[in-house]
Amino acid sequence: MQNVMRVGIIGGGLMGREAASAFGRWFVLDRERVPVRAELTAVCDLQPSLLEWFKGVPGVRLLTRDHRELLASPDVDVVYVAVPHNLHESIYVDVLRAGKDLLAEKPFGIDLGAAERIAHEARVSGRFVRCSSEFPFLPGAQRVFETARSGRLGTLLEVRSCFWHASDLDPSKPANWKRQVRTCGEIGVMGDLGMHVVHVPFRLGWKPVRVYGQLQKIYGERPDGKGGMAVCDTWDNAMLHTDVLVEGREVPVRFEMKRLAPGATNTWSLEVLGTEGGARFSTAEPKTYWEFQRGKEQAWSRIDLGFASVFPTITGGIFEPGFPDCFQQMWAAFAVERAGLLGSRFGCVTPDEAVASHQLFSAALRSHEAKAAVAL
């Protein structure tokens, strides 16, 4: 008999609805490799129009504007929380104290202190807690991870891990909670995009020992959507130049998080270079994996990948993967790891990794302020 994981969502906006889509087609996952069935049973949001939208989602039995009502439901085992960053700590702690497991959204608290308190609560509650980061579940990202882990690249030369957006280049784009320190956090774009760029390097054991942070604020205000202007006080772009100790040697690892990256809609990329070879993947070319092998001639091979997902689905092996696929793969990893069945497969960000990401971002703020590298 299949194990059932009943999920409640708090925050049914952009990501809450994406999660509903992942559960809605859960049956595509191979039942032997993912012997857990996910069911969305309850949703909480403050906006009536979103609750109305969820009425069209099969299986949802409870719709509420009060997250405590959702947490009191015996039909919820796991809660996915996708709300603004200033609400992470209080709602995550409420989830854990209600005895539910948690898939938290990044950045796992508005700042380092909040992340540490959430991680502490996760430990003392004994609940299963992971944090969202889905791009590493794409087949191309997995190939870079496996190649880097294999040692085939020789002595590591450098690593570049990036997540770029461009929509903020338009100054008429209205402000929202992600553009303001009060709701997004002082770390700004690092809180928005940072978990995505640290997940694979951290999982490979590449944790920075030093960071030099270059942070930029370009647009100080934007239309508020009501005819006026709103202050936008978060960092728009962040480039973190770090040193990572790999086999006793310092390796430069650059983390780039940008809201103002000309030409990039939602481009996640990872490149790892060594003396014997290189590996790179970008969501700009979702089915293409690039590999370099040292030889007399300098050539990168372009490998046309198919749908080689971590958790197999009914989708044909030659088809292309996309955002909804990697988001569902991340949920499959959560469900399988929660059931104690992950084995050697790639898993979601742990609370310790989330705290380590905040340590890096907080050090980057100090580095930028001091215009000097900061040790971690």
Query: What residues line the site for ligand NAD (CB under 6 A)?
Result: 10-15, 44-47, 50, 67, 82-85, 87, 105-106, 132, 134, 192
Distance of closest approach, residue 195 Cβ to ligand NAD, in angstroms: 8
Distance of closest approach, residue 348 Cβ to ligand NAD, in angstroms: 11
Q: Is 88 helix (H, G, I), strand (E, B) or coil?
A: helix
Cα-based torsion angle of the residue sequence 337, 339, 341, 344 in order, rounded to the nearest 10 degrees = 10
DSSP 29: B
Smaller CB distance to ligand NAD: residue 73 or 147? 73
Distance of closest approach, residue 13 Cβ to ligand NAD, in angstroms: 2
What per-residue string of b and e applies to 254-284 under the rule 16 or more CB within 10 Å gives b? bbbbbbbbeebeebbbbbbbbeebbbbbbbe
Which residues, other chains included, contact 17 with Cβ-Cβ below 8 Å and sequence gap of 6+? 50, 53
Residues facing residue 132 across a β-bridge: none
Which residue of the chain is nearest ligand NAD when measured via CB? 13
CB count, 10 Å around CB of 167? 12
Distance of closest approach, residue 19 Cβ to ligand NAD, in angstroms: 9
Q: Which two tokens stand for residue 54?
A: 């969820």
Smaller CB distance to ligand NAD: residue 94 or 291? 94
Distance of closest approach, residue 351 Cβ to ligand NAD, in angstroms: 15
Query: What is the phi/psi pair of residue 81, to 5°?
Result: -110, 115
Distance of closest approach, residue 37 Cβ to ligand NAD, in angstroms: 23
Smaller CB distance to ligand NAD: residue 118 or 374? 118
Smaller CB distance to ligand NAD: residue 166 or 245? 166
Distance of closest approach, residue 44 Cβ to ligand NAD, in angstroms: 5
Smaller CB distance to ligand NAD: residue 205 or 322? 322
Nearest to 161 by CA among 295, 319, 279: 279
CB count, 10 Å around CB of 204? 17
Smaller CB distance to ligand NAD: residue 10 or 144? 10
Which residues, other chains included, contact 200 with Cβ-Cβ below 8 Å and sequence gap of 6+? 136, 141, 144, 145, 148, 161, 270
How far is C-alpha 258 from the geometric centre of its chain's CA atoms? 15
Q: Which two tokens stand for residue 208?
A: 């920075």
DSSP 348: P
Distance of closest approach, residue 217 Cβ to ligand NAD, in angstroms: 19
- Report the distance separating Cα 181 and Cα 192, nearest Å: 12
Distance of closest approach, residue 133 Cβ to ligand NAD, in angstroms: 7
Smaller CB distance to ligand NAD: residue 18 or 221? 18
Smaller CB distance to ligand NAD: residue 106 or 207? 106
Strands (DSSP E) found in 247-319: 249-258, 267-274, 277-282, 288-293, 300-304
Smaller CB distance to ligand NAD: residue 45 or 236? 45
Strands 101-104, 78-81: pairing kind = parallel
Say if CB 360 and CB 374 are below 8 A apart: no
